[in-house]
């Protein structure tokens, strides 16, 4: 199973992921600020029509009840949208931190690889020098 994940991770275009990370964070922040700035829908007050006939009054009351129910549903959806956009923003921030850590690790690996190569060359030269002195 780890081999499958390794194959998947090797196919990810990390250079594109790293280069696009700031765009993702900016987009998530813009989404969050746009959603958070939107005002809540205005509240509908119960306005009864006193002059209507009983059947018309019942119809108006049913429409008002339905409007109130729809308003509550819209309010719930708005709350869910705020929570979702907050989650997206948090995930984008975490993604940016992850990409930053990956980039730092990549640089460290390059430095460690270069250091290892230098030490290997020095060790090889020391071995060759020791053999040349021993043989002469």
- Nearest to residue 59, comparing CAs of 48, 68, 69? 48
pLDDT along the chain (136 residues), means of 10: 63 73 75 71 53 74 93 90 85 84 89 96 95 80
Residue carrying the six token digits 């705020």: 82
**Residues 6+ positions from 82 with CB-CB distance below 8 Å:** 35, 36
pLDDT of residue 49: 47
Percentage of the chain with pLDDT > 70? 77
pTM: predicted TM-score of the whole model, two decimal places: 0.49
The answer to whether 57 touches 114, Cβ cutoff 8 Å, is no
pLDDT digits (tens, 9 = 90+) for 32-66: 777 777 766 655 555 554 544 568 888 999 999 99
Q: Which pLDDT belongs to residue 53? A: 56
Which token pair is 74?
Answer: 């819209």
| Residue found under tokens 């993604």 | 95
Up-side HSE of residue 21: CA atoms within 13 Å toward CB?
Answer: 18
- pLDDT, position 5: 63
Question: What is the distance between the alpha carbons of residues 65 and 45, in angstroms, rounded to a whole number?
Answer: 11
pLDDT at 6: 65
Report the pLDDT value the prediction gives residue 120, as an integer from 0 to 100.
Answer: 96
* Res 41: pLDDT: 60
Three-state secondary structure of 53-95 = CHHHHHHHHHHHHHHHHHHHHHHHHHHHHHHHHHHHHHHHHHH
Residue 100's pLDDT is what? 84
**SS3 sequence of 10-45:** HHCCHHHHHHHHHHHHHHHHHHHHHHHHCCCCCCCC
């Amino acid at each position: 199973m780890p081999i499958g994940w390794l194959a998947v991770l090797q196919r990810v275009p990390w250079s594109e992921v790293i280069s696009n990370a700031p765009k993702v964070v900016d987009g998530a922040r813009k989404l969050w600020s746009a959603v958070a700035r939107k005002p809540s829908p205005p509240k509908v007050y119960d306005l009864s029509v006193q002059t209507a006939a009983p059947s018309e009054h019942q119809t108006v009351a049913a429409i008002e009840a339905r409007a109130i129910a729809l308003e509550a549903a819209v309010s719930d959806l708005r709350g869910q949208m705020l929570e979702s956009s907050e989650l997206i923003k948090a995930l984008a921030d975490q993604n940016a931190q992850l990409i930053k850590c990956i980039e730092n690790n990549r640089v460290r690996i390059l430095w460690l690889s270069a250091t290892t190569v230098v030490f290997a060359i020095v060790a090889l030269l020391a071995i060759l020098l020791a053999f040349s002195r021993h043989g002469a």
